[in-house]
């Protein structure tokens, strides 16, 4: 990242999990799960190209993902990210805005400067995704102002649209960029992008389950993290969507004057499970994974890469962190 100002470079390296706030390299393993990078490389291999062709795509996707985490943490007021202070907590809000901008600029530059004749198509793919990310975050922020239940409440289908923009688009972009940079025809790119988008929706559904019922020792997140933050996630909305007295009772517990304490959160989690929110979310994840797998079969892919993609898809559903 040669053209970065050293200070924004330091913040970007911190956000990426490469170093601590003093700039010292950090090998504590606080990076992400590597799903996006793997998708990009496999996207290129699946269309018969060298995985190395996808590297600018993998880099761009990782940078834009980090950009979005960084800015979203400011908007959501989330003080912790990957068990460390969020960038805005560590460096201040203004500098964190700038660090995000720098990462986004580097992401675009990486693609725009890719040698060969696929840079323009890669940039167009990237731009579609960037617009989707921003739109998904706008939807998510607006959800906060809407009631849990009754008129104006967020329904599971609206949540799905938000997740498709906020999470699905980027996983779709990762595998599509690999294919674009590998020189795949438009139809294959579109099919792979659809597979990635549904994988992203499955990924988000699993995330929502882990955010309520995940093991803190494995996820690295506080117990009942999403409940205590009052996040409107799929399990909650699915549980409430059933209606009736039990849903009404649940809704009454969800707007407490203070954040839920441990006991109240455990009670809510049990109620959501009883109302079928957990099962519905698991079904939602499985449904999207099936759609993603069907899309994979529709594309004419090289066998080994298709198998590896399938294995990655299984990991997304079965992961515990």
Smallest distance from a second copy to CB 77, Å: 8
Q: How far apart are CA 274 and CA 296, in angstroms?
A: 35
Smallest distance from a second copy to CB 101, Å: 5
Smallest distance from a second copy to CB 30, Å: 23
Contact residues for a second copy, defined by CB under 8 A = 3-5, 7-8, 71, 74-77, 93-95, 97-98, 100-102, 104-106, 108-109, 112-113, 119-120, 123-124, 126-128, 130-131, 134-135, 137-139, 141-142
Smallest distance from a second copy to CB 104, Å: 7
Task: Give the phi and the psi of residue 25 in degrees, each rounded to 5.
Answer: -55, 140
CA distances from 54 to 61, 62, 91 (A): 11, 12, 33
Q: How far apart are CA 23 and CA 6, in angstroms?
A: 10
Distance in Å from the first CA to the final CA of the chain: 30
Which residue stretches of 32-168 are H helix?
A: 35-46, 55-76, 87-91, 93-112, 119-143, 156-163
Smallest distance from a second copy to CB 107, Å: 10
Residue 70 or 275: which CB sits closer to a second copy? 70
Residue 105 or 153: which CB sits closer to a second copy? 105
Q: How far apart are CA 189 and CA 177, in angstroms?
A: 8
Task: Give the phi and the psi of residue 85 in degrees, each rounded to 5.
Answer: -60, 140
Residue 5 or 286: which CB sits closer to a second copy? 5
Smallest distance from a second copy to CB 136, Å: 9
Q: How far apart are CA 321 and CA 319, in angstroms?
A: 6
Q: What is the chain's percent helix, strand, coil content, to nearest 5? A: 70, 0, 25
Residue 12 or 38: which CB sits closer to a second copy? 12
Residue 135 or 300: which CB sits closer to a second copy? 135
Residue 76 or 273: which CB sits closer to a second copy? 76
């Amino acid at each position: 990242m040669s053209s970065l100002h050293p200070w924004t470079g330091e913040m970007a390296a911190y956000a990426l999990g490469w170093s601590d706030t003093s700039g010292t390299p950090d090998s504590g393993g606080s990076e992400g799960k590597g799903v996006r990078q793997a998708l990009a490389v496999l996207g290129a291999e699946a269309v018969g190209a060298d995985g190395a062709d996808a590297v600018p795509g993998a880099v761009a996707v990782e940078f834009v993902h980090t950009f979005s985490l960084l800015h979203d943490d400011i908007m959501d007021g989330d003080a912790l990210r990957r068990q460390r202070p969020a960038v805005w907590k560590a460096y201040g809000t203004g500098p964190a805005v700038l660090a995000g901008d720098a990462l986004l600029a580097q992401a675009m530059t990486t693609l725009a400067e890719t040698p060969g004749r696929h840079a323009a198509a890669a940039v167009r793919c990237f731009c579609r995704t960037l617009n989707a990310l921003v739109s998904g975050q706008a939807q998510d922020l607006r959800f906060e102002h809407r009631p849990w239940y009754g008129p104006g409440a967020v329904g599971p289908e609206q949540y799905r649209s938000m997740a498709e923009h906020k999470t699905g688009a980027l996983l779709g972009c990762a595998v599509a960029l690999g294919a674009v940079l590998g020189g795949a025809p438009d139809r294959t790119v579109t099919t792979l992008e659809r597979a990635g988008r549904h994988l992203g929706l499955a990924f988000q559904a699993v995330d929502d389950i882990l955010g309520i019922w995940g093991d803190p020792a494995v996820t690295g997140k506080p117990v009942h993290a999403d409940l205590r933050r009052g996040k409107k996630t799929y399990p909650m909305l699915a549980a409430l969507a059933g209606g009736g007295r039990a849903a009404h009772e649940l809704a009454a517990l969800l707007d407490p004057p203070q954040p839920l304490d441990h006991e109240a959160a455990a009670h809510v989690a049990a109620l959501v499970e009883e109302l079928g929110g957990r099962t519905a979310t698991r079904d939602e994840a499985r449904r999207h994974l099936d759609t993603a797998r069907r899309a994979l079969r529709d594309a004419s892919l090289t066998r080994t890469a298709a198998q590896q993609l399938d294995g990655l898809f299984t990991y997304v559903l079965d992961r515990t962190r």
